[in-house]
Amino acid sequence: MFTGFPEGTDQFFLDIRFHNNADFFHSNIERYRKEVQAPFYALIEDLVPSLLDIDSQMETRPHKILSRLRRDIRFTKDKTPYRDHLWTYFHRAAEPKEASVGFWFEYGPGRLAWGMGCWGDNRPLMDRMRRYLAANPSYYSGLIHGCGLAQKHLVLQADLWKRMQIPPNIPADLEAWYRIRNFGIVQSFPDLREAADRSLFLHIRSDFQTMAPLYRMLRGMQDELDTEALNAQKNMEETV
């Protein structure tokens, strides 16, 4: 059961920040497993039942959900081998992470965040959402605002298409949603003090449940796209 991140979690991250090399990590691997990996795994395991209620096909294995401490430095100027924070990303099992829809959580020294959204750009999904918004703006306005995001300090953070033409039937409260390029709905008022006890799990679980209708909306649209792509592939194979 998750009871909070101990002081040793932050201390390990601070130590690896200033001793960012393989020798330090391997000589402190048991510290990592006890002070970092174990509380992250406990949080993941506690969140799994609620996430499976949201989507029964969600990936639930902690080693698949938790990011690696070691960074992939092949294509980056920053060659430091280890991170000083970690994150979790819950999405459909066996689905590529890139452009997928999911829930995430991130923690490190002075760093606490969680939310829901797409991992990177997903133009087909955003185009599909635009089509639905234009077809029935009142329904989707009610769905989006009916979740009560503002009351939970959950806010839309998005990269927007600046010159995109907005249909005249799109109300002002949906304009930002219509112009989304990529996005996340994030907790804008995380309290770092919560990280030390179980209240953090309760807060994250509550926020994930609040965002669940929006996840299901996007997931349903993505499922349509996946089905259409599969049918197109089958039709192509049948004509060959």
Number of domains into which the chain is organized = 1
Question: Is residue 2, in this structure, part of any structural domain at all?
Answer: no
**Beta strand pairing call for 101-108 and 154-160:** unpaired
Q: Does 221 score more than 90 pLDDT?
A: yes
Residue 202 corresponds to which tokens in the numbers above?
A: 């309760």
Question: Is residue 58, in this structure, part of any structural domain at all?
Answer: yes
Instruction: Tell me the three state secondary structure of residue 180.
Output: strand
Residue type, 158: A
Question: Is residue 120, in this structure, part of any structural domain at all?
Answer: yes
Q: State the pLDDT confidence band at 99, using cuts at 50, 70 and 90.
A: confident
pTM confidence score: 0.95
Q: State the pLDDT confidence band at 240, using cuts at 50, 70 and 90.
A: low
| pLDDT per residue as tens digits for the range 104-142 | 999 999 999 999 999 989 999 999 999 999 999 999 999
Q: What is the DSSP string of 32-101?
A: IIIIIIHHHHHHHHHHHHHHHHH-TTB---HHHHBPPSB---TT-S----B-SSEEEEE-BTTS-STT-E
Direct distance between the N- and C-terminal alpha carbons of the chain, in angstroms, rounded to an integer: 55
Question: Is residue 44, in this structure, part of any structural domain at all?
Answer: yes
| pLDDT per residue as tens digits for the range 4-32 | 999 999 999 999 999 999 999 999 999 99
> CB of 217 within 8 A of CB of 155?
no
Question: Is residue 1, in this structure, part of any structural domain at all?
Answer: no
The parent domain of residue 96 ranges over: 7-235
Question: Is residue 209, in this structure, part of any structural domain at all?
Answer: yes
Question: Is residue 71, in this structure, part of any structural domain at all?
Answer: yes
Q: How many CA atoms lie within 13 A of 80 on its CB side?
A: 11
Residue type, 23: D
Q: Does 98 score more than 90 pLDDT?
A: no
Q: What is the CATH number of the domain that holds 129?
A: 3.30.930.20
Residue 141 corresponds to which tokens in the numbers above?
A: 């306005």
What pLDDT shows up at residue 78? 82
Q: Where are the beta strands (DSSP E) in 91-189?
A: 101-108, 111-118, 154-160, 180-187
In angstroms, the CA 210 to CA 126 distance is 21
Residue 7 corresponds to which tokens in the numbers above?
A: 């002081």
Question: Is residue 240, in this structure, part of any structural domain at all?
Answer: no
Instruction: Tell me the three state secondary structure of residue 119.
Output: coil
Residue 192 corresponds to which tokens in the numbers above?
A: 């770092």
